Amino acid sequence: MARILIVDDAKFMRLTLSEILEKAQHKVVGEAENGQEAIDMYRKIQPDLVTMDITMPVLSGLDAVKQIKSEFPDAKVIMCSAMGQQKMVVEAIEAGAKDFIVKPFDENRVSEAINRVLY
């Protein structure tokens, strides 16, 4: 069971992902609506894993990953993106993200990504 921080500006997406994660026996330890909140929460709770949306207000997921990885090199981040954001996904992986999942979320793909990154 992993302690996971969900970062997405859309409440519906956070809820959807939360349900998938809890069904897979993981614990959602926090939710953030933008990249800056994600950084602040990461510092406080230091979760086992972060699911990070790419496009968000205040600070993008890309910038948040760079900041988190600079402070916590061992941080495990899975990027979440809508279809057609391949260029950003590549940038996210280069910035230190371990994997990515595409919206709308597929339960099996989410579980596979989490297991690959954690174990």
pLDDT tens digit sequence for 33-46: 999 999 999 999 99
Q: Does domain 3-47+61-118 have CATH number 3.40.50.1000?
A: no
Local structure of residue 98 (DSSP, 8 states): -
Q: Is pTM, for the whole model, over 0.75?
A: yes
pLDDT in tens, 45-94: 999 999 999 999 999 999 999 999 999 999 999 999 886 667 888 888 99
Q: What is the number of other CB atoms lying within 10 angstroms of the CB of residue 61? A: 28
The ranges assigned to domains in the chain are: 3-47+61-118
**12 or 119, higher pLDDT:** 12
Report pLDDT for 85.
Answer: 67
Q: Where are the alpha helices (DSSP H) in the chain?
A: 11-23, 35-45, 61-71, 86-95, 107-118
Report pLDDT for 84.
Answer: 67
List the one residue out of 105, 98, 77 whose CA is nearest residue 13.
105
Report pLDDT for 6.
Answer: 98
